[in-house]
Amino acid sequence: MPIASLFRLARAGFVMAREGVFGVVDLPDLPPAQRLALRAIRLLERRSVRGKAADKRLSDALTRLGPSYVKLGQFLATRPDVVGREIATDLTALQDQIPSFGMEEAKRVIESHFGRPVEQLFASFGEPVAAASIAQVHPAEIEEADGTRRKMAVKVLRPGVAERFRRDLKSYYLMARLMERFHPPSRRLRPVAVVDTLARSVELEMDFRLEAAALSEMAENTRDDPGFRVPEVNWTRTAKAVLTMEWISGRKLSDVAGIEADGHDLPAIGALVIQSFLRHAVRDGFFHADMHQGNLFLDEDGNLVAVDFGITGRLGKAERRFLAEILFGFITRDYRRVAEVHFEAGYVPADQDVDVFAQAIRAIGEPIHGHDASEISMARLLTQLLEVTELFNMRTQTQLIMLQKTMVVVEGVARTLDPHLDMWRTAEPVVRTWIERNLGPAGRLQDAAGGLAALGKLAADLPILAERAGRLSGELETMAEKGLRFDAETAEAIGRAEARHTRSGRIALWVIAALLAIAVFT
């Protein structure tokens, strides 16, 4: 067992004890030995923390432990299946509150990646205006070809943060292995796999070229979307530890009073936040997974601008169909269809009763139709849905959990702008449009075209398959002429393979011919 990792774990436990994190655990729920140990640990608790709320204790402890623990907390906020829904909700509010590092250090990072002084890259380079666990942002200016200056935001990786994360990850792995070894019930949560996911997530987040690519992809996806955009990336001044992009002049969505004073329509902006997120998730399958108020601006033209794409989520076609159909099913009160979608997606095992499952979903959906629209939380509904599916042995779907947690944040942002926001009326146009395009006649034609394309590829491959079959037959004849023989079992297997190739080719040709005939005569 690595002594250094064990020491770091002990230090982390001491800081959490001092900040009162262990004081929020219910003693009656623990066995006698653990209950006694917890009482002893609580003796380390500082008096000043005893009046703090549970979420404040945990966030303060993680902040004191440093950047990698802040990132750990933010990551676990997306995994309520691991830490529990209450703790995950507490961690959702965790924001980076890390002191900035010096200008000279920032300049050294930039110069090491471009091989040139900062003064040659930028016409001006200012003090940091925002600092987080992984990086900080500096205002800068570049000189255009016509001599004018353009303001930019330069994101610089915190020096030594990669090594710090690698060191702390060893401690996380040690804790995960200890949990799996000495606490059998935790094995179903696969702690080591959870740390693997965290390690991969942080590795990707610390390469700013990938964040730049995410910005570029989102810009392409939303090019024609009304009222939404992302900053433009300056690729010539972007590297692994440096991201240069357009400076956004505007107000953060946290400044509700300022936005209202500017004369903007708050309810319209709240609806724009919800509809933009749903377009990204349902239409594109690619969404910003950290859309809190600090990452959303309203620019001078009234456009919603999203920044900080270090954390993103993806949904495949199947997940997008699942999301659209369950939301539409709740809107139209078609609970049987909502249940069927779960089974069709393979999320709920086939041995479960679809009618009983539909009954459970009805218990979630009906109450929302008895309340004012402003009282209905779509995020809460998705949370309840995931809770109910657990009763029917639904396996954890990480991508859906990230979506649900992002929806909680997005809905919260929208309701700060419009407390009476009708989530269902706001979401309905986006969901209906996707369903009409993808599950209606146009969508079916597109699926058919995809099927024909696949068959066309198979037809194009038939000469290659025939050539391979002919080559195999020739080789077998040559071996026979040389007096080489296979045993009966091998010879039979080769015969079956030859027959299968021939039969597959004939079937493919008949299917293609039939489809062409249908296309001609219908």
User: Which residues are part of the catalytic machinery?
Assistant: 290
DSSP reduced 3-state for 304:
strand
Encode pLDDT of 248-272 as tens digits: 988 999 899 999 999 999 999 999 9
Pair of tokens at residue 293: 């108020």
How many Å apart are CA 270 and CA 283, to the nearest integer?
A: 19
What residue spans of 183-240 are helical by DSSP H?
Answer: 191-205, 208-221
Of 162, 167, 165, 160, the residue nearest 108 (C-alpha): 160
Amino acid at residue number 286: F
Q: Return the domain boundaries, the chain.
A: 1-95, 97-247, 276-439
Can you point out the beta strands (E) in 80-181? 124-125, 130-131, 135-143, 149-157
Encode pLDDT of 156-207 as tens digits: 999 988 888 888 888 888 888 887 787 776 666 677 877 887 788 788 888 9
Helices 191-205, 161-182: crossing angle, 10 deg rounding: 170
Amino acid at residue number 89: T
Q: Which of 65-74, 318-327, 493-502 has the lowest mean pLDDT?
A: 493-502
How many Å apart are CA 202 and CA 27, to the nearest integer?
A: 35
Q: How far is CA 275 from the centre of its chain?
A: 18
Encode pLDDT of 35-70 as tens digits: 666 666 766 677 766 666 666 777 777 777 777 777
In this structure, the chain runs to a length of 522
Percent of the chain with pLDDT over 90: 26
Is 0.75 topped by the overall pTM? no
CB 139 within 8 A of CB 247: yes
Q: Which CATH architecture has domain 97-247?
A: 2-Layer Sandwich (3.30)
- Phi, psi torsion values for 242, nearest 5 degrees: -140, 130
